[in-house]
Chain A
């Protein structure tokens, strides 16, 4: 009986020790947890310096504020929203998906789409040209007539070549 009692006591102490550690971890957010949010924000004083690496006193205070909000159970989205409301959208690394800031998301896509379009056109042109050249010989004059219809320069070139013959 005494043996069982000491075993139960040991288990109780063991379990309570671990739960207290877990509790401490929940209430005191780690630096990694704080920095995971801080790196999504800019230093309010320095230009373009992420909050997680900025050594200024202002940033140290902001990181402490993040730690406090995390320990109060606030979510990442709520904390980021708080900073945006308090200090303006300029503190966010990611531009807000609203109004004029949409351009930051749309323009790169448009530029890529335009690039793909022009690349496709250029590739199409490059693949056509060898076909025309490979059809040389008996049909050379026919081909040059077709091309000349599109390009004045080719017409002039053909004329010059004829004259030299």
Chain B
């Protein structure tokens, strides 16, 4: 390197460099901690589903209990169906889900839980009335349930959780028939 290539530069004071570096490291640490706190646990296949609260719509409670946890269903097979009143594909499967619920309801071994994703209470009530749905249904308050279960953040999606609370199956999109729902659930009833 020749002398001509040397460019004079004004040095930044050491304390300034240290301060800037410390500030950036602190900021990154703060963002990292914040993101870690904000991140909720997600359900994984063949793993226990992280517990969540269910606040049922009035008239759609399970055993007249307005508030429950997923863990309260231990010992039963749970089908969680995520839907919304503005979702057209959800309307395709709604009658089939109700028919399947009528089939399983008396046995007491299977529970259907509808989870209403980012919906208005009026829209939800109209939808539930329109399709004569009677199985337990709850709003997805602050997306707390879908953030644990819903992988694609789309509707409709359905999940089967076995008697031990382990996530076993996921169905993305609407069910085509009652038989498909039965096959989806029965595999985990044994």
Contacts and interface: CB of A to CB of B under 8 A. Distances in A.
Given A100-B34, A100-B37, A100-B38, A87 B6 contact: no
* Interface-centre pick from B20, B85, B86 (highest chain A CB count, 10 A): B86
Per DSSP, chain B at the interface is helix
Contacts of A64: 120, 122
B3 interface: yes
B27 A45 contact: no
Per DSSP, chain A at the interface is helix
Given A125-B10, A160-B3, A86 B142 contact: yes
Given A57-B86, A61-B123, A87 B118 contact: yes
Nearest to B27: A107
B159 to A, nearest CB: 20
A110 B23 CA distance: 10
A103 B123 contact: no
B108 interface: no
Nearest to A88: B142
A126 B162 CA distance: 73
Interface in A79-133: 85-88, 90, 99-100, 103, 107, 110, 114, 125
A65 B122 contact: yes
A151 interface: yes
Contacts of B86: 45, 56-58, 60-61
Nearest to B9: A153
B30 A45 contact: no
Interface of B: 3, 6, 8, 10-11, 20, 23, 27, 30-31, 34, 37-38, 84-86, 118-120, 122-123, 139, 141-143
